[in-house]
Amino acid sequence: MIGYILRRILAVIPVMLLVAVFVFALLRLTPGDPAAIIAGDMATPAQLERIREAMGLNQPLHVQFVTWVGQLLRGDLGTSLISNTPVTSMIGARIGPTLSIAVLTILMSVALAVPMGVIAAWKHRSGADYTVMAFSVLGFSVPVFVIGYVFILIFSLKLGWFPVQGFTPISRGIGPFLYNAFLPALTLTTIYVALIARMTRANMLEVLGEDYIRTARAKGAPERTVLFRHALKNAAVPILTVIGTGFALLIGGVVVTETVFNIPGIGRLTVDAILARDYPVIQAMILLTSFLYVLVNLVIDLSYTFFDPRIRY
Amino acid sequence: MLFKTRNFDAAPVALSAEALTVNLPDTPGVPQVLKGIDVTIRQGETVCLVGESGSGKSVTSLAVMGLLPEALKVAGGKILLQGQNLLPLSQAQMRELRAARVAMIFQEPMTALNPVLRVGDQIMEVMELHTRLSAAERRRRAIDIMEQVHLPDVPRIFRSYPHQLSGGQRQRIMIAMALVLEPVLLIADEPTTALDVTTQKQILLLIDELQQKHGTAVLFITHDMGVVAEIADTVCVMKHGEIVEHGPVEQILRHPKADYTRKLLASVPSLAPRDPRAETQDIVLRVSKLNKIYGGGGIFRKLPQAHAAKDVSFSLTRGRTLGIVGESGSGKSTVARCIMRLIDPTSGRIELDGTDIATLSRGGLKPHRKRLQVVFQDPMRSLNPRWTIAQSLIEGPLNYGTPRREAMAEAARLMGVVGLPEDSLRRYPHQFSGGQRQRIAIARAVMMRPDVLVADEAVSALDVSVQAQVLELLDQLQRDLGIAIVFITHDLRVAAQICDEVIVMQRGEVVEHGPAGEVLAHPAHPYTRALIEAAPGRDWDFQNFRSMSESQDAHPA
Amino acid sequence: MAQTPEPRSAMQPVLSVIRLPHFGIGPKIAAVVLLAIVIVTLLANWLAPHDPLTMNPLMRLQGPIEGHPLGTDNYGRDILSRVLIGGRLSLAIGIATAIVAVALGLVIGMVAGFFRTADAIIMRMMDALMAIPSILLAIALVALNGPSVGSVIAAITIPEIPRVVRLVRAVVLAAREEPYVEAAIALGSSMPKILVRHLVPNTLAPLIVQGTYILASAILTEAILSFLGAGVSTETPTWGNIMAEGRQYFRLKPELILWPGLMLSLCILSINLLGDAARDMLDPRLKKRAG
């Protein structure tokens, strides 16, 4: 058991290292002068030199990489070219809104999607199943910002239930927080629910065809017991997996949603950095979100042992 | 006493199905899967439903349990459990009945238990669902029934998950679960088919023991006539959804009336060894000191090494058949795959016509491949589903430079040899039955004119009548072409039927090696003896409708 | 089984799969809608009532009026014409992405599935690539390489590749264990021959399904990139760009986002529905359960 956990943690290191290499290579291996790309077409030679200096672009690639990784290990994500503030403090200032909305989204999604998927699989080829499937395909097909604007149009502009934009931190009370955060979270929930409900349904369908489900029925177990005691626990591992891999989708969604609802989170920070070609910030954000993705999936991997006793090597 | 001869006429009827009809309402033509069958099972009686695949025997059992798949519907008749008709009952009423009055065990103990729940909890769940016993009482009764099914170290197994138990132990758990509430009727659907023969024997004895103890009526579904001979009081022979014949077991086995029953019984291979084919001096395959070791682990993980084959040696002469017999995990398939060089042996020599092929590279192997061909177990998967039969058949010869026209002509000729129409060549595998596909796979191997044919459980997936035909085909090809065959099997009957020589393997080691007649008639090693003793129905000569001793009197050796 | 009528052509196994009786109404409607969108998009030059690029400062942000059934945008350009034309590049980028991603993924996945030595390295690289959120990776790539169509296609393609690689590798690994592949080894077929003749055909069905999903996802990603200001040059009308410009005027004129959003969603919805239908047809497990 301990061995399994250690192995899983160790296996994450090469992936993280490769992510770092990719992110590093993004700028350096782009055709053309990186400094010119960052500075834009109008830059003067002096500006270019300043950027090269600030980012260490004058040094050989391997030196740059080692220096950069060294900085990362010390917790230094670099300094913004625009505002000249350390990226870590920029992120620190803006991670709150993003995290609170993300957590709200995950809670709402799982609470909605898992029962939806279970019912769809149980009532396979019924009206309920088709409704869940239709909703799920729709969630995949409408761009998240369109969903956001439609919600604003209906719930804010027409009905006036929620504000159009803005954010109130959770520290100012749960009510004011939800007043602002509910619509963005609902927007993100739509796509996340589509994904999880679909996977839950597919895996439940598969599990419901297994021999031990027939055994449970032969024991005289009522459907509720069959579904939740026998089937769902067996389907848990793939459902957890998709919650983990769907995390990438969530990050992409956050970036867009924060733009739509004008929320001062790290998604907005990233988009602004990209439009301003503030490369240290872009690099740090990609790295950070990737590491976050890897860690979330590591935690999910480790939680498998809780659901499936066979995973204990 | 060869058979059970108990009389149940006075016992109360536990279950009777009357004119039970099941059909496929949504399929065009509404085909009938059960055509009005009648079965009666009395208290304490074992009724065997025997038949080949597609005979409707499993559908019968699922209909009784009310667990038919959605596509199937009961169209008529009655199912009476102690006089109460089950068909009008609601789902909830049926649920109350299951496990409490009718219990069922299934074929695959490996998949029939929920992998994420402890087996003790799974047994106790039955009582949770049907009784108001206290938790302590449920636990006590679960442990009690686990002891009754002779599980070792009950406290440990009670806390175990299914994957930590062997197949036999899992089937015991299933039986414990089925019998804990002392149901009137136990339905056992091929409960020993997936088990090794020695385990099968123990499970059959256990069912018998518990049946006597509790007076349970047993509906036993099987395809295996040997098992029938062991446990049945009464036999119902099924074919295409009908019961073609039923009666006391001895009457069915000794004086079968229906043609189908006679044919079925005549197909059961005899345990009496065949007369060996003539020995020649021409050694085509010589295996010496073959070893295969798996595992050892990587950097972070130490896996226990598995010695799948230990110092296996044998030789095979032209035109003869060597059987490698063993239970699962004996290493018999490892040996076959090493010989085929589908896996690389760890050490040892494999001489094919005098050349050691054990260490040859892929390229170096190519000229030798054609002399060594293989037929696998699963006829559904051994032909590429996207290729026509012709494409599959000529693949090998084309690899060795045979002109296409010549290869096609040979393929057409071989279709005739294996008993399929010539236009089969233009068809696809899914258009053939399992037995036909196995013939095609044999034809594909024979296309290469091999010296040695490795048949890895090549008839194990086939119904017994089809199996007899395929064995006949192999025998004929061997006579005509002088092919030497390495025949891997778990089935002693099949081995007795086809092998001149036999190797018995256990845990990677050869425990006995000798002429088939010698090994099967006078086994020297205790494991061989245990295997033979466990073979169900070994005292009965099914083909001749008499006991083995009567057969021996008729043909003194 | 053996009584099945003689096959008429080599396509028989493929046809017998496609000729499913319960091919629902959903996929049929989806096919019609998608076909309509494609035709309208291709003929947009002739169908559009106005030039999509002509500005008219006197006609800014008008509601539906004579000659402009969907109204005009903030430069006075005709929204209908822009929406019709806008699909062209979106669809082209989606199709290009799907083709490139499937082709590259097929090759890499085959290598990973067949050569044990390459497998570990390739799969760790794919894990790393999957870890990088695709939207962020794509906008970074476009920001660095400039807003050309080529760089947008590359930016959307790269994050899609790992999924194809994993799929192909899984299929190859499963197929390698099939007895008919082992029989081919015994028949002396060379590894490249086995790869091309036995294994590649196995990947086709799942790749077609995956390809449709990538097509849908690529069109979606293109729109998001444009919306965030990291797509193709803003002068080119694409659905994403029209919506990006509409952002500021959303309260005044939500149609600027709703109409292209509707077209885009219908298009993606149809593709996804067709993908699902294809998957249901080609999934052997579902078939087994039905039969």
State the CATH number of the domain containing residue A227.
1.10.3720.10
Residues of chain A positioned with their CB less than 8 A from the CB of B92: 222
Q: With an 8 Å Cβ cutoff, are B106 and A211 in contact?
A: yes
Residue B549 domain-assigned (yes or no):
no
Number of domains in chain A: 2
Please tell me the predicted confidence (pLDDT) of residue B92: 92
- CB C71, CB C252: distance < 8 Å: no
Is there a single domain that holds both residue A128 and residue A163? yes
Residue A312 domain-assigned (yes or no):
no
Please tell me the predicted confidence (pLDDT) of residue C8: 37
Q: Which residue of A has its CA nearest to C26?
A: A134
pLDDT tens per residue across span A69-85: 888 888 888 888 788 88
Please tell me the predicted confidence (pLDDT) of residue B7: 85
Question: What is the Cα–Cα distance from A112 to B233, expressed in whole angstroms?
Answer: 55
Nearest to A157 among C133, C141, C251 (CB): C251
Q: Which residue of C has its CA nearest to B27?
A: C291
Is there a single domain that holds both residue B68 and residue B4? yes
Residue A17 domain-assigned (yes or no):
yes
Residue A257 domain-assigned (yes or no):
yes
Please tell me the predicted confidence (pLDDT) of residue C287: 39
Residue B545 domain-assigned (yes or no):
no
Q: With an 8 Å Cβ cutoff, are B97 and A216 in contact?
A: no
Residue ending a domain, choose from A87, A104, A128: A87
Which residues between 144 and 173 in chain A have a beta carbon less than 8 angstroms from any beta carbon of chain C?
Answer: 144-146, 149-150, 152-153, 157, 164
Q: Which residue of A has its CA nearest to C264?
A: A142
Is there a single domain that holds both residue B366 and residue B427? no
Please tell me the predicted confidence (pLDDT) of residue C9: 40
Best of B388, B393, B395, B444 to substitute, by most chain C Cβ atoms within 10 angstroms, is B395
Say if B125 is an interface residue toward chain A (CB within 8 Å): yes
Please calculate the CA angle B267-B268-B272 and round it to the nearest 5 degrees.
Answer: 120
Q: With an 8 Å Cβ cutoff, are B388 and C10 in contact?
A: yes
Best of B62, B116, B164 to substitute, by most chain A Cβ atoms within 10 angstroms, is B116
Give long-range contacts, CB 8 A cutoff, 24+ apart: B254-261: B254/B545, B254/B546, B255/B545, B256/B545, B261/B237
Average pLDDT, chain C: 80
Say if A1 is an interface residue toward chain B (CB within 8 Å): no
Say if B104 is an interface residue toward chain A (CB within 8 Å): yes
Burial of C226 (0-12, 13-18, 19+ CB in 10 A): buried
* Non-local CB neighbours of B19 within 8 Å, separated by 6+ positions: B36, B37, B38, B76, B77, B78
Nearest to C220 among A14, A16, A143 (CB): A143
Best of C121, C134, C144 to substitute, by most chain A Cβ atoms within 10 angstroms, is C144
pLDDT tens per residue across span C187-231: 999 888 898 888 888 888 889 888 998 999 999 999 998 888 888
Nearest to B433 among C2, C180, C185 (CB): C2
Residues of chain C positioned with their CB less than 8 A from the CB of B385: 13
Q: How would residue C12 be classed by pLDDT, with cut points 50, 70 and 90?
A: very low
Residue B425 domain-assigned (yes or no):
yes
Is there a single domain that holds both residue A95 and residue A83? no
Q: With an 8 Å Cβ cutoff, are B428 and C13 in contact?
A: yes
Ordered by start, the domain boundaries in chain C are: 72-283
Q: With an 8 Å Cβ cutoff, are B381 and C179 in contact?
A: yes
Best of B381, B422, B449 to substitute, by most chain C Cβ atoms within 10 angstroms, is B381
How far is the alpha carbon of B153 from chain A, nearest alpha carbon, in Å?
20
Residue ending a domain, choose from A66, A87, A108: A87
- CB C74, CB C80: distance < 8 Å: no
Q: How would residue C4 be classed by pLDDT, with cut points 50, 70 and 90?
A: very low
* Non-local CB neighbours of C262 within 8 Å, separated by 6+ positions: none
Please tell me the predicted confidence (pLDDT) of residue C256: 82
Residue ending a domain, choose from B182, B207, B240: B182
Which residues between 306 and 345 in chain B have a beta carbon less than 8 angstroms from any beta carbon of chain C?
Answer: 340, 342
Please tell me the predicted confidence (pLDDT) of residue C285: 46
Nearest to B382 among C12, C180, C193 (CB): C180
β-bridge mates for residue B509, sequence order: B310, B506
Please tell me the predicted confidence (pLDDT) of residue C26: 76
Residues of chain C positioned with their CB less than 8 A from the CB of B366: 188
Q: Per 3-state DSSP, what percentage of chain A is helix, strand, and coil (rounded to 5)?
A: 80, 0, 20
Range of the domain at B412: 378-449
Beta strand B321-325 with B306-317: parallel, antiparallel or unpaired?
Answer: unpaired
Is there a single domain that holds both residue B363 and residue B495? yes
Is there a single domain that holds both residue A167 and residue A263? yes
Please tell me the predicted confidence (pLDDT) of residue B557: 46
* Class level of CATH domain C72-283: mainly alpha
Residue ending a domain, choose from A87, A103, A120: A87
Beta strand B283-294 with B217-222: parallel, antiparallel or unpaired?
Answer: unpaired
Is there a single domain that holds both residue B218 and residue B259? yes
How far is the alpha carbon of C179 from chain B, nearest alpha carbon, in Å?
5
Which chains pack against C, by 3+ Cβ pairs within 8 A?
A, B
Is there a single domain that holds both residue A49 and residue A74? yes
Taking Cα atoms as reference points, which of A78, A191, A200 lies closest to residue A141? A191
Is there a single domain that holds both residue B3 and residue B89? yes
Say if C287 is an interface residue toward chain A (CB within 8 Å): no
How far is the alpha carbon of C291 from chain B, nearest alpha carbon, in Å?
10
Percent of chain C with pLDDT over 70: 88
Please tell me the predicted confidence (pLDDT) of residue A178: 84
Q: How would residue C14 be classed by pLDDT, with cut points 50, 70 and 90?
A: very low
Which residues between 271 and 290 in chain A have a beta carbon less than 8 angstroms from any beta carbon of chain C?
Answer: 271, 274-275, 277, 282, 285-286, 289-290
In order of A85, A101, C141, C179, C223, the CA distances from C135 in angstroms are 25, 19, 10, 42, 11
Is there a single domain that holds both residue B435 and residue B518? no
Q: With an 8 Å Cβ cutoff, are C273 and A149 in contact?
A: no
Residue B515 domain-assigned (yes or no):
yes
Please tell me the predicted confidence (pLDDT) of residue A187: 93
Range of the domain at A117: 91-307
Is there a single domain that holds both residue B21 and residue B82? yes
- CB C196, CB C79: distance < 8 Å: no
Is there a single domain that holds both residue A275 and residue A166? yes
Is there a single domain that holds both residue A17 and residue A132? no
Residue A254 domain-assigned (yes or no):
yes
Size of interface B-C (CB pairs under 8 A): 78
Which chains pack against A, by 3+ Cβ pairs within 8 A?
B, C
Question: What is the Cα–Cα distance from C15 to B506, expressed in whole angstroms?
Answer: 48
Q: With an 8 Å Cβ cutoff, are A143 and C140 in contact?
A: no
Please tell me the predicted confidence (pLDDT) of residue C136: 86
Is there a single domain that holds both residue A166 and residue A48? no
Is there a single domain that holds both residue A289 and residue A180? yes
The CATH number of the domain holding residue B526 is 3.40.50.300
Q: With an 8 Å Cβ cutoff, are B385 and C13 in contact?
A: yes
Number of Cβ within 10 Å of residue C35's Cβ equals 11
Q: With an 8 Å Cβ cutoff, are B100 and A220 in contact?
A: yes
Q: Which residue of C has its CA nearest to B420?
A: C2
Question: What is the Cα–Cα distance from B15 to B60, expressed in whole angstroms?
Answer: 12
Q: With an 8 Å Cβ cutoff, are A137 and C273 in contact?
A: yes
Is there a single domain that holds both residue A82 and residue A223? no
Please tell me the predicted confidence (pLDDT) of residue B112: 93
Is there a single domain that holds both residue A193 and residue A72? no
Q: With an 8 Å Cβ cutoff, are C128 and A19 in contact?
A: yes
Residues in chain B with pLDDT values less than 50: 299, 557
For residue B540, which phi and psi values (nearest 5 degrees)?
A: -115, 135
Please tell me the predicted confidence (pLDDT) of residue B217: 95
Q: With an 8 Å Cβ cutoff, are A310 and B115 in contact?
A: yes
Sign of the torsion angle spanned by Cα atoms A230, A232, A238, A241: negative
Say if B478 is an interface residue toward chain C (CB within 8 Å): no
Q: With an 8 Å Cβ cutoff, are C179 and B370 in contact?
A: no
Please tell me the predicted confidence (pLDDT) of residue C283: 61
How far is the alpha carbon of C14 from chain B, nearest alpha carbon, in Å?
8
Q: With an 8 Å Cβ cutoff, are C264 and A22 in contact?
A: no
Is there a single domain that holds both residue A54 and residue A131? no
Q: With an 8 Å Cβ cutoff, are A15 and C223 in contact?
A: no
Is there a single domain that holds both residue A59 and residue A120? no
Please tell me the predicted confidence (pLDDT) of residue B480: 92
Residue B323 domain-assigned (yes or no):
yes
Question: What is the Cα–Cα distance from A18 to C121, expressed in whole angstroms?
Answer: 10
Sign of the torsion angle spanned by Cα atoms B126, B128, B130, B132: positive
Is residue C11 pLDDT above 50, yes or no?
no
Amino acid at C36: A
Per-residue pLDDT of chain A (313 residues; tens, 9 = 90+): 677 788 888 888 889 999 999 988 887 777 767 777 777 767 788 888 887 777 777 788 888 888 888 888 888 888 887 888 899 999 988 888 998 999 999 999 999 999 999 999 998 888 888 899 888 888 888 999 899 989 988 998 888 888 888 888 888 888 888 888 899 999 999 989 999 999 999 999 999 989 999 999 999 999 999 999 999 999 998 899 888 888 888 888 888 999 888 899 988 898 888 878 788 888 888 898 899 899 998 998 888 888 888 876 4
Q: What is the ipTM of this complex?
A: 0.84
